[in-house]
Structure 1
Amino acid sequence: MSGDTVEARILAGLDDEQREVATSLTGPLCVLAGAGTGKTRAITHRMAYGVHTGVYKPQRVLAVTFTARAAAEMRTRLRDLGAGGVQAKTFHAAALKQLQYFWPQTVGGQLPDLLSHKAQFIAEAARRLRLSTDRAAIRDVAAEIEWAKVSMLTPESYVSAAKGREAPAGFDLITISRIFQAYEDVKVDRNVIDFEDVLLITVGILQEDERVAATVRDQYRHFVVDEYQDVSPLQQRLLDLWLGGRDELCVVGDSSQTIYSFTGATSKHLLGFPSRFPNAPIVKLVRDYRSTPQVVGLANRILAARTAEGERSRFAPPWPKPLELIAQRPAGPEPTFTECADDDAEAASVAERIKALIKDGVKPAEIAILFRTNGQSQAYEQALATAGIGYQLRGGERFFARREVRDAMLQLRAASRSVGNEPVPQLVRDILVSLGYSPEAPAGGGAVREKWESLAALVALADELHANRTQDPDAIFTLMDFVAELDERAAAQHAPTVQGVTLASLHSAKGLEWDAVFLVGLSEGLMPISFADTPEAVDEERRLLYVGITRAREHLHLSWSTARTPGGRANRKPSRFLDGLRPQTTRDLQRTVTPKAPARRKSSGPAKCRVCGTLLTTGAERKVGRCGECPVTYEESTFDALREWRREAASEAGIPAFVVFTDATLVAIAEDRPPSLNRLATLPGVGPSKLERYGEAVLRVLADN
């Protein structure tokens, strides 16, 4: 590739600050990048420019980030820029690869198995200490142990270092320390290590064995760290050992987006970078290409309000001056603020607005509802289902685990061995037709629509990759390349876009963006969350709201409710973070109340058979909604399939079959044939815990029959 081509392909299209990042190839570099300012573009173009100008050897560049999805996206961009040899990994993935290689020669024997979930081992540790724990307590203790380990604390040093922290699950710090030690003992007994151990052991080997450290430092000469505001002390220690005193380090971050302090992340390394490397250039990316001036203006005001409060209060902790974003997009609609009478009214209001956006041409996949806690999602799932709007719950069933996606990948892989160099998008369409893909979406909903949406997402991904890869006239993009991309994305859980409104927590929305964003539940107690009882914790809640605001490209809607349930006491107040930003008068503030929906009210009269109208006298009759004299209205094969699935589920769990679902509930399921989890949840005998445990499996049985 010639120098002119490098200039044209890699540097063209970058703004002045991005170009400065891309051409600063040696020595330390600190990039302070605000939301939507193109930081990933800047650093991937920097690595690609370094490779094509001969300054970097691609195999000796390591880019690290915090999620497998982000690493996979970075690898895709680098490959599109002709720098596919650059390594882009998470801290854990990079450390695990090194540990697998060096363990036999440093420790000897086989690397212990990697523990994917701590819950079972922590429960056993508690039992050894004769401590009573429930599921929530185990989860909270696991989070505390993870915090301790990434903070490089041992069970002995934990108690003194954790002074001032509230111990989880009602235990005191000494008890947590004892559980911590017992958990470590259980791991040793079972010969397993956890994810934090991967980093800790790698750090230990690099510290103690100079030969190993020299090998790693010879392998990697240049480092790039994305989301540097989120590094933990343990990750920073590992990075320092990789560097070995060198300064070939580019870091990218924004202290205003530090939202993972509870996991041990800290922005002090980003903020202290200029002190550590006094001669390092500091480049600020503040041109926001994502959001309209209206969205950017609100985001800036959220942070500016905290700065003003901090200057007035002697109790406020230090607050680094935030980056002030400068919008680059044309003007758009003003953000809306809506006060609702209760949670149901808020969910219904959001669903109606989404329906209007879709009617105006906004794709469902470009709309998101973001909330503070996952428990808030149910009302919005119900409201969207009632409105006939498809949705996907981020953190739900993984895309690549879906049956139709697995089948599609098998067929694409088989076809890739025999087809020629025909255009990939058309090949993918032709192959997926046999699995149910069609150019037009099916009219109905339920499992058929969900299956089509999965296949359509694969088709859209093929179109996107083909367009990106063929910008270079010499590039060839084959079906085998597409299958390889799918395999890599499946390993990283880097799912393509599925058509449906996204429901997600604010934390899980980090790194994503949509045309329209609904920030819901913005009342005191939820935003900031009730347990944010220190100035530092409240500051993090403000940053979390800032992250939510900056996810929106054009449409931004903020809402809250004054009561939890219809008719309840209206004692909720809007979030303090909205003071001075939201309209202060009822004349300017949109208000909604719960729409009348008689169908959702429980009948106060006796239950009657839906076939003949006879009063239902037994619990089983009421559960299926039909008296024993009337004929069944389900397919026997469906009921038999459900019973067989129940038998297998009960056998696997070691419990009686009726504990999974009673026969009456199976009859209700077979007769109703619910097309979605929301519909399944309305049936008698299907509570929240059973829906979570068995819901997806039940829908698969119904889809197969």
Structure 2
Amino acid sequence: MSGQIHSELKELSLEERILAGLDEDQRLVATTLSGPLCVLAGAGTGKTRAITHRIAYGVHSGVYQPQRLLAVTFTARAAAEMRSRLRDLGVGSVQARTFHAAALRQLQFFWPQAIGGELPQLLEHKAATIAEAARRLRLNTDRATVRDLAAEIEWAKVSMLTPETYLSHAQQRGNPAGFDLRTIARVFQSYEDVKTDRHFIDFEDVLLITVGILQEDARVAATVREQYRHFVVDEYQDVSPLQQRLLDLWLGGREEICVVGDASQTIYSFTGASSKHLLEFGRKYPTAELVKLVRDYRSTPQVVHLANHLLAARRPAGKGADAAWSEPLQLIAQRPAGSAPSFTECADDESEAASVAKGIRALIEAGVQPAEIAVLFRTNGQSEAYEQALSAAGVGYQLRGGERFFARKEVRDAILSLRAASRADADPESGGEPAPALPQQVRDVLASLGYTEQPPSGGGAVRERWESLAALVSLADELASSRGGEFRLVDFVAELQERSAAQHAPTVQGVTLASLHSAKGLEWDAVFLVGLSEGLMPISFADTAETIDEERRLLYVGITRAREHLALSWSLSRTPGGRAHRKPSRFLDGLRPGTSALARSRPGAAAANSRTASRKPPALCRVCGKALNSGAERKIGRCSDCPASYQEATFEALRAWRLEEARSAQLPAFMIFTDATLVAVAEIMPSSLEELAAVAGIGPSKIERYGEAVLAILSAQPQN
């Protein structure tokens, strides 16, 4: 039967073969080649397949010139994956890049004529420069604070703010890195000064300067627009204002653009990403075609149902949040039925990790490959327990975000050996027998480095080394199959070099441990979603309706990573024997058996609260009695002009405790408590958990996690 299908495909034209295998909606995407096109593509619906086949169909049918089409996405790995697929479709000359890579390429070319002189050095890591900027202002910072300052400055720059305009646009940002906004603006300016002194530019500057040149130099803009006639933008829900501005300048008023995205997978709002560009595309381009991809080819009906139900369970949360929430796509599962997702409640974090390791061991024994299993958590600090549990169970793992694959010594040695072998393979004067097929060549070369067909017994460094080499062998098998007999060793080495530059690592046989954010764009046969308790999902610092919605979308992304097996778990206590204060995530209400999607409070309470919210009296200063205007004033409970009433020693004791807690949890200090909250605590001096809970900004999860420690600090302070 398969031979008959293959024969029938060979009789089709090249263009028809490109469209073969696409469903009705994917085919509509692939054949809509001109004018604005918006593709709303749910998780697992084959969006990358649709847009790469669209590009290939457009090139082979003569509508597109490959050198004049630019496909942009958001990660180097995604761009490398797109280039690989385009090569398989015979259109490898089409450029697929990240926004930053495309802009940097243009900047390097146009800098001499538009600016003159030498292009400044690209600053790949901000930490040292931001630390120096803070020192110039005599601010004390640690690694966590520097990381938070870098994130805030990046948000400001992709939002196209300057140190002068930051203050007026960041009023809802709270206290990033534990500093007030005026201090952040000063650090921002100091950072820009340090870069100027050192002749550096950062990645955001690459976009900003390119935008500036295109706006100011009509000749450069005309050259770029002549070069690129058509654009495809993947993951369009993640576009920032700065990236959108660059895209608009590339287009120059033309409408040859195809965008692809899913507002329900918007999980990077904290970096400046916004789904509004996707949602308002039809308003910007009234003639745009709209195609929805809703057939889910990735997950079983049970997984798809859970994902749909999670989004459908979202309730109205206020005018602003409701306006930002888009109607989710209703996915339709295409795979056969599978097992129902499991829900497991554990006594503590240690027992939860042990339970997950046991479940993973059972899957592996049932034939699931370790590389097809993932453990996903909300924060990187949660990984240690699972690393220990998997090690104790004798299960190999890889930590996503840990040591990069191409930085491993055995991988570097392997590439050097393969490159040396490829020179002899490419030498027509070498004589001798014809070279064996690529997979056998790779096996022969890597055998000298310790590769064997069977893995070594046990674990440790020897097993990890073997798994790295085995990943290269598997990649050779995969590429030889997809690229055909003409794909030689020299081509394989070139592929590895390109993948190394893009950090597009091959599959390593080990269970993946990853944060939910870093799992975006990936998928596995089996997924374990862990730590699903209040305070972790949603995270404790998600304290607005909009941020709670983003946490819901983040869990949705986690659920939709699973193809067949999905396990959700949470624990009631952090440590064995600890008090069982934790509660399952509110997002699980209505999903797990025996629960309802209704609010956990008394019936009608939510509606009553929404009806009376507008009649809530204004917060008043406890010193002068005037109405409090800002969020910081309401949190402290007094006007900023009224005198403080706390003891400096108490405040410093709280700050010192917060710093240690932040270091221990690997969290930014302000995520524990903001300075404003600490001031309020120091002034009110609560003596019980009930009084502490009355302080603005301290909710149930923070009472559970930090309440006793804060009261202990306060009780140790000398009384007035």
Q: TM above 0.5, one fold?
A: yes
2:327 maps to 321
Q: Name the CA distance, whole Å, in 2 between partners of 1:83 and 1:495.
A: 22
User: Post-superposition shift, 1:209?
Assistant: 0.3
2:432 matched to 1:422? no
Q: Name the CA distance, whole Å, in 1 between partners of 2:589 and 2:320.
A: 20
2:599 maps to none
SS in 2 for 1:418: helix
2:388 maps to 382
CA deviation profile, 1:109-141 (whole Å, cap 9, x unmatched): 111001111111111111111222222111111
Q: Name the CA distance, whole Å, in 1 between partners of 2:531 and 2:538.
A: 10
User: Post-superposition shift, 1:583?
Assistant: 2.0
1:162 maps to 170
The code of the aligned residue for 1:54 comes to: G
Decide whether the 8 Å contact of 2:39 with 2:258 is kept in 1.
Answer: yes
Say which is worse superposed, 8-17 or 261-270, in terms of deviation: 8-17
User: Post-superposition shift, 1:158?
Assistant: 0.4
Decide whether the 8 Å contact of 1:295 with 1:552 is kept in 2.
Answer: yes
CA deviation profile, 1:30-49 (whole Å, cap 9, x unmatched): 00000000000000000000
User: Post-superposition shift, 1:5?
Assistant: 2.8
Q: Name the CA distance, whole Å, in 2 between partners of 1:98 and 1:280.
A: 28
Which residue, out of 459, 480, 493, partners 2:473? 459
Q: Name the CA distance, whole Å, in 2 between partners of 1:508 and 1:314.
A: 31
1:669 maps to none
Alignment of 1:498-509 (within 5 A): 498-509=508-519
Q: Name the CA distance, whole Å, in 1 between partners of 2:179 and 2:216.
A: 36
2:275 matched to 1:267? yes
User: Post-superposition shift, 1:171?
Assistant: 1.2
Q: Name the CA distance, whole Å, in 2 between partners of 1:223 and 1:15.
A: 23
User: Post-superposition shift, 1:316?
Assistant: 4.4
Which residue, out of 211, 224, 235, partners 2:243? 235
The code of the aligned residue for 2:322 comes to: P
Say which is worse superposed, 31-40 or 422-431, in terms of deviation: 422-431
The code of the aligned residue for 2:33 comes to: L
CA deviation profile, 1:639-661 (whole Å, cap 9, x unmatched): xxxxxxxxxxxxxxxxxxxxxxx
1:86 maps to 94
2:109 maps to 101
2:69 matched to 1:46? no
The code of the aligned residue for 1:368 comes to: A
Q: Name the CA distance, whole Å, in 2 between partners of 1:230 and 1:314.
A: 23
CA deviation profile, 1:144-191 (whole Å, cap 9, x unmatched): 000000000000000001112112122111111111011100100000
SS in 1 for 2:519: coil
SS in 1 for 2:374: strand
Q: Name the CA distance, whole Å, in 1 between partners of 2:461 and 2:183.
A: 48
2:482 matched to 1:468? yes
The code of the aligned residue for 1:467 comes to: S
| Cα 1:421/1:18, change in 2 over 3 Å | farther
Q: Name the CA distance, whole Å, in 1 between partners of 2:580 and 2:459.
A: 37
User: Post-superposition shift, 1:484?
Assistant: 0.6
2:143 maps to 135
SS in 2 for 1:450: helix
CA deviation profile, 1:446-483 (whole Å, cap 9, x unmatched): 1111111001000000010111112xxxx611111111
The code of the aligned residue for 2:333 comes to: A
The code of the aligned residue for 1:452 comes to: W
The code of the aligned residue for 2:145 comes to: A
Q: Name the CA distance, whole Å, in 2 between partners of 1:284 and 1:240.
A: 24
Which residue, out of 236, 257, 260, partners 1:252? 260
2:499 matched to 1:496? no
1:660 maps to none
Which residue, out of 432, 441, 450, partners 2:464? 450
User: Post-superposition shift, 1:315?
Assistant: 7.2
User: Post-superposition shift, 1:577?
Assistant: 0.3
1:147 maps to 155
The code of the aligned residue for 1:477 comes to: F
Q: Name the CA distance, whole Å, in 2 between partners of 1:443 and 1:173.
A: 56
| Cα 1:152/1:528, change in 2 over 3 Å | same
2:442 matched to 1:431? no
CA deviation profile, 1:298-329 (whole Å, cap 9, x unmatched): 000000001xx11x866743221100000000
2:718 maps to none
Alignment of 1:174-573 (within 5 A): 174-306=182-314, 309-310=315-316, 316-318=321-323, 319-419=325-425, 420-470=434-484, 476-573=486-583
Instruction: State, as a whole percentage, how many aligned pairs show the same letter.
Output: 77
| Cα 1:314/1:44, change in 2 over 3 Å | closer
SS in 1 for 2:424: coil
Q: Give the superposed CA RMSD.
A: 1.6
User: Post-superposition shift, 1:444?
Assistant: 2.2
Which residue, out of 68, 76, 81, partners 1:73? 81
Q: Name the CA distance, whole Å, in 2 between partners of 1:64 and 1:359.
A: 41
The code of the aligned residue for 1:145 comes to: I
User: Post-superposition shift, 1:255?
Assistant: 0.1
The code of the aligned residue for 1:193 comes to: I
The code of the aligned residue for 2:279 comes to: L
| Cα 1:3/1:223, change in 2 over 3 Å | farther
SS in 2 for 1:317: helix
1:125 maps to 133
User: Post-superposition shift, 1:278?
Assistant: 1.0
2:674 maps to none
Decide whether the 8 Å contact of 2:318 with 2:545 is kept in 1.
Answer: no
CA deviation profile, 1:192-248 (whole Å, cap 9, x unmatched): 000100000000000000000111111110000000000000000000000000000
CA deviation profile, 1:550-606 (whole Å, cap 9, x unmatched): 000000000000011000000100000000111238xxxxxxxxxxxxxxxxxxxxx
Q: Name the CA distance, whole Å, in 2 between partners of 1:580 and 1:29.
A: 37
Q: Name the CA distance, whole Å, in 1 between partners of 2:104 and 2:321.
A: 40
Decide whether the 8 Å contact of 1:229 with 1:266 is kept in 2.
Answer: yes
1:589 maps to none
Q: Name the CA distance, whole Å, in 2 between partners of 1:5 and 1:290.
A: 29
CA deviation profile, 1:61-98 (whole Å, cap 9, x unmatched): 10000000000000000000000010000000000000
Q: Which runs of 5+ in 1 are unaligned?
A: 586-686, 690-705
**Under a length normalisation based on structure 2, what TM-score does the superposition of the two structures give?**
0.79
2:428 maps to none
Decide whether the 8 Å contact of 1:421 with 1:478 is kept in 2.
Answer: no
**Under a length normalisation based on structure 1, what TM-score does the superposition of the two structures give?**
0.81
Q: Which runs of 5+ in 2 are unaligned?
A: 1-8, 426-433, 596-662, 666-720
2:700 maps to none
The code of the aligned residue for 1:223 comes to: F
Q: Name the CA distance, whole Å, in 2 between partners of 1:136 and 1:393.
A: 20
Decide whether the 8 Å contact of 1:3 with 1:53 is kept in 2.
Answer: no
Aligned length: 581
| Cα 1:3/1:105, change in 2 over 3 Å | farther
User: Post-superposition shift, 1:3?
Assistant: 10
